[in-house]
Homo-oligomer: A and B are copies of this chain.
Amino acid sequence: MPEFRKDPVVDRWVILAADRAKRPQHHAGKNEPAGTDPCPFCAGNETMTPPAVLTYNLDPNIGTWSVRVVPNKYPAVVDEGGWTGHSDSIYQTMNGLGVHEVVIEAPEHVVNMGTLNERQLEQILHAYRDRIVQLQNDQRWRSILVYKNHGAEAGATLEHTHSQLIALPVVPRAIQEEIDGAKKYHDAYGGCVYCAIIDQEIGAQSRIVAETGRFIVFCPYAARFPYETWILPKQHAPRFEYGSKEDYIGLARSLRETLIRLNCRLENPPFNYLIRSNPLDEITDPYCHWHMEILPKLSQVAGFEWGSGAYINSVAPEDAARHLREVIF
């Protein structure tokens, strides 16, 4: 079973999951031919994954599923019992409890999410929502993270388009830090810092990539990475999973357009994305504001970043936003 270990100096959890070293690689590098092994995520190969926990059938006439959610075959955390651990003097360990699932985003062997249509993206977002809502019924989970690794350089081991979901019995530091930062702003100024960011960005315009009635897409002021791009609902909303039908339609459109812009400008870059959604109870709703962060992987995180926790970014977000705005499609 995997194991959580806590660093004895800083507040940082590490999950030791030795079985993940056994993951098969099924990935075409930029200049390599795709592997010839059968893809476990393609329709017809369902027996190559654990049984699905969620299956959508977009159109019964197609005769296959449209989106399928399965337990990760090489999980970082596993759902077995309660969360228990022990200390060994200065060291603290807990069993690797949690849920680790894979959202298979298309039945065909599509490798780029940006080539899916809006209706399919909407289904994927519905799958995220449905799994989050389902998992929230289990009191053991204190946070649920939805994320995507696209491309080998961004950590994907399989090329068939997919994303992942991890439910954990802790609120990890990056999530807690954002909540704490938002609370600090709320205590000082009485509002939501993300709503303030939206106002400021719409006023300045220089970092806006696109704006619709419901969403803004922009490169954040203190972007860590070249072409880092965020999508935020314009109206204050603490939780991704409480969206309306129209919200997911609007997000599917904004996400698809953003991926097309990134693909056109950066020639199908590897990237990660993640969804932030308030994991805590209602008291934090006034200052949590769900959003999506898209992080292209164009440069390497190096010694300076590991040593400082600061980032060196060689593309100003104003330039990145202008380049992305200029993409015609």
Nearest-Cβ distance from residue A64 to partner chain B, whole angstroms: 27
Whether A303 pairs with B155 at a CB distance below 8 angstroms is yes
The answer to whether the Cβ of A17 comes within 8 Å of any Cβ in the partner chain is: yes
Whether B222 pairs with A8 at a CB distance below 8 angstroms is yes
8 Å CB contact of A10 from B145, B149, B177, B200: B177
Q: List B contacts of A6 (CB < 8 A).
A: 222
Whether B164 pairs with A303 at a CB distance below 8 angstroms is yes
Most-contacted residue by chain B among A88, A166, A313 (CB, 10 A): A313
Q: List B contacts of A297 (CB < 8 A).
A: 300
Whether A147 pairs with B303 at a CB distance below 8 angstroms is yes
8 Å CB contact of A302 from B154, B178, B276: B154
- Give the CA-CA distance A315 to B22 in the complex, in Å: 11
Q: List B contacts of A300 (CB < 8 A).
A: 149, 152-155, 297
The answer to whether the Cβ of A181 comes within 8 Å of any Cβ in the partner chain is: yes
The answer to whether the Cβ of A272 comes within 8 Å of any Cβ in the partner chain is: yes
Whether B274 pairs with A307 at a CB distance below 8 angstroms is yes
Nearest-Cβ distance from residue A12 to partner chain B, whole angstroms: 7
Whether B14 pairs with A310 at a CB distance below 8 angstroms is yes
**Contact-residue bracket for chain A:** 35 or more
The stretch that binds B, out of A101-109, A116-124, A167-175, A210-218, is: A167-175
Q: List B contacts of A301 (CB < 8 A).
A: 155, 301
The answer to whether the Cβ of A311 comes within 8 Å of any Cβ in the partner chain is: yes
Question: Hey, which bits of chain A sit against chain B, CB under 8 A?
Answer: 5-21, 76, 88-91, 143, 145, 147-149, 152-156, 164, 166, 168, 172-175, 177-178, 181-182, 185, 193-194, 196-197, 200, 220-224, 272-274, 276, 293, 295, 297, 299-304, 306-316, 319
**19 A-B pairs, CB-CB below 8 angstroms?**
A7-B181, A8-B193, A8-B222, A9-B182, A11-B177, A13-B310, A14-B222, A15-B311, A18-B319, A89-B196, A91-B222, A143-B308, A156-B302, A172-B308, A173-B309, A173-B310, A174-B308, A274-B306, A295-B306
Q: A10-B177, A147-B304, A175-B308 are in contact. List 11 more A-B contacts (CB 8 A).
A: A5-B222, A8-B185, A9-B194, A10-B181, A14-B311, A20-B312, A90-B193, A90-B197, A149-B302, A174-B307, A276-B307
